[in-house]
Amino acid sequence: MLPELAAVSVARTAPAAADAFGVAVKPSGAVPRQIGLSRARLATLGFEGKPGQTLVVPGKEGSVVVAVGVAEAPAPNELRDAAAALVRAVPKAAHVATNLADAASGSAAEVATAYRAVVEGALLAGYRYAGLKGDPAARSVLTQLTLVGAGSPAGVAAGQATAAAAANAREVANMPASHLSARQFAELAVRVASERGLSVEVYDKDRLTQLGAGGVLAVNAGSVEPPRLVKLTYKPRAKSKAAHIALVGKGVMYDSGGLSLKPTNAMSAMMKLDMSGAAAVFGVLAALPALKCPNQVTGWLVLTDNMPSGSALKLGDVFTARNGKTVEVHNTDAEGRLILADGLSLAVEEQPDAVLDIATLTGAALAALGEGWAAVLGTDAGLLDRVRAASEATDEPVWELPLSRDKYRSQLDSQVADMKNIGGTYGGAITAAIFLSEFVGDTPWVHLDIAATMNSDADKGWKSRGATGFGTRLLLDLVTNYTK
C-alpha cells in the first residue's frame, strides 16, 4: 500500500548502465567534459546554466547526458530542485546518475546536507501515485539513483528516510476516500508501527465515548464509517536528555461539509486530501527510527469523515470536548477544529515539552497567502522560531499570522456555550487558530494550516502533481533537531 522509492547508491564514476547522467554546470567557468559541448554551443541550444535549467544531450547506445544548471555555491534548496529537474528531464530513465551533490562544498555537515537534498529532490520528483490505473506506465519509472562523488552515508540515509516519509504522506492522502477509511488508515498505522518498532494505540468509537471526545463524535455523527484516533509513540534509546514533542494531525478522510454542504466543484473533489495533516504525522512517525531521532515523539492521528445524514451534527448543536469546554456549532464545514480540539486536549495531558498540530484547516489561509505558503500561528515565540528554521531548511514555506486574542477572541463568544466554532466573515485562519488555542493550556504550541499547500496542480520542484506531503519534512527537521 505504501510506495517503493528508487534505491540509492554512491559511486566514484558514473555507472555505464545508467540511462542518464546529470552533470552540474555552473553559470561560468569551464563546462564539464562529460557534456561534450562548449559553453557557446550550450548557449546556442538555449542552455544558460541557470539554477534548475536542464538540457538533454544524446549519448551512445541510448544513454544521455543531462546538463543541469546550478549556482556557483548552490544552497541545499537549490540542489533539491536541481535534482528534481534532472529526474523530470528524463522521465523514461530507470537508472539516473548525477554528480550534483559534489557541486557543494564545505564542512562534513554541509556536504551531508547537500547529499540529503539531492536524494530528496530526485526521489520526490520520481514519485508517482499510480492509483487505480491499470497502465504500468502510470507508475514511477525511476528505480535506481547513483550519486557520483565522494559520498556521505549520513546524508544519503537521511535523504532516503525523509523522502520516504513525504512519499508515504502523499500516498495515503492521494487515495480515494472509498479506498481509505478511518478504520483502514488505523489498520495501516498499526502494521507500519509493528514494522518500525513504534508503540501504537487505536481508540475506537466506544473508547472515544469513554474519553469524552465530543468533537470527534460530533463530526462523525452523520457517517456510517466509525471514527478512529491513533496514537503512535516513538522513544529514543537514550532518554536522559530527550525532549517530548506531540504532533496532532487532522484526519478528515473526506469532507462533504456535513449539513453545511460544500458545492460540487474542483475543491470538493480534492476533499479526500482533508486528511493531509494526519498523513504528514503518520509519515513523520514512520521515519523516526531510521533517522535515530534523539527525542520522544507522540503522534495523534484524529480520523473521521464529515458526512450529511439524518443523524448528522446540526447547526446550533452543542457538544462537550475532551477538556470540558462546550462548543456551539454554527457551521458544520468548520469541522477540522472540532476533532483537533480532542486531539490537542489528549496530547497536552501527557505534558509534552511542545505540541504542534498540522491541518488542512481553512480556505482563509489560502485566500491570505496563496498556494505557496502555509499559515503558522502559535503561543510560543521560541517554538515559532524553530518552525521557521525547519521551514527554511526543507523549502516548505510558512508565514506567521497574528494570534490576536484581544482583537478576535470575542468573535467566538456564544450565548449558550463556552464558544462557537467560527468567527466573523474575515480573518478565518486566525479565529480558527484562536479556537484551537483553547485546548492547549500552557503547553508551548504551534498550529500549521496547510490548506493552501496540500495539493499541487503540476510537477514543480520537489512537489509532484497531487498531494504534496507538505509539512512532513518540516516536522521531521524540527523534531530531530529539537533541544530542551
Give the closest residue to 74 by CA, choosing from 130, 25, 135, 11.
25
**Residue 30 cell numbers, joined:** 569551464
Place of cell 542518464: 20
Give the closest residue to 261 by CA, choosing from 333, 197, 356, 200.
333
Distances 352 to 286, 305, 345, 440 between C-alpha atoms, Å: 20, 28, 12, 11
Catalytic residue among 337, 386, 463, 473: 337
Q: What angle do CA 264, 265, 266 make, to 5 degrees?
A: 140
**What is the DSSP-derived secondary structure letter of residue 32?**
P
Distances 166 to 27, 284, 441, 462, 481 between C-alpha atoms, Å: 32, 8, 30, 10, 18
Contact 239, 293 (CB under 8 A): no
Q: What is the CA radius of gyration of the chain?
A: 23
Contact 238, 347 (CB under 8 A): no
Catalytic residue among 262, 314, 388, 409: 262
Contact 115, 156 (CB under 8 A): yes
Backbone angles phi and psi of 166, in degrees to 5: -65, -40
Q: Residue 285: helix, strand or coil by DSSP?
A: helix
Burial 146-157 (b: 16+ CB within 10 A, else e): bbbbebbeebbb
| Beta strands 326-328; 54-58: pairing state | unpaired
d(CA 116, CA 99): 13
Number of H helices, E strands in the chain: 15, 19
Amino acid identity at 431: T
Q: Residue 31: helix, strand or coil by DSSP?
A: coil
**Residue 275 cell numbers, joined:** 486528511
d(CA 201, CA 300): 10
**Residue 412 cell numbers, joined:** 467566538
Is 463 labeled as catalytic in the residue annotation?
no
Q: Residue 359: helix, strand or coil by DSSP?
A: strand
Q: Residue 381: helix, strand or coil by DSSP?
A: helix
**Residue 164 cell numbers, joined:** 520516504
d(CA 472, CA 165): 7
Is 116 labeled as catalytic in the residue annotation?
no
User: Which residue spans within 267-372 are E strands per DSSP?
Assistant: 296-306, 318-320, 326-328, 354-359
Q: Which positions are annotated as active-site residues?
A: 262, 337
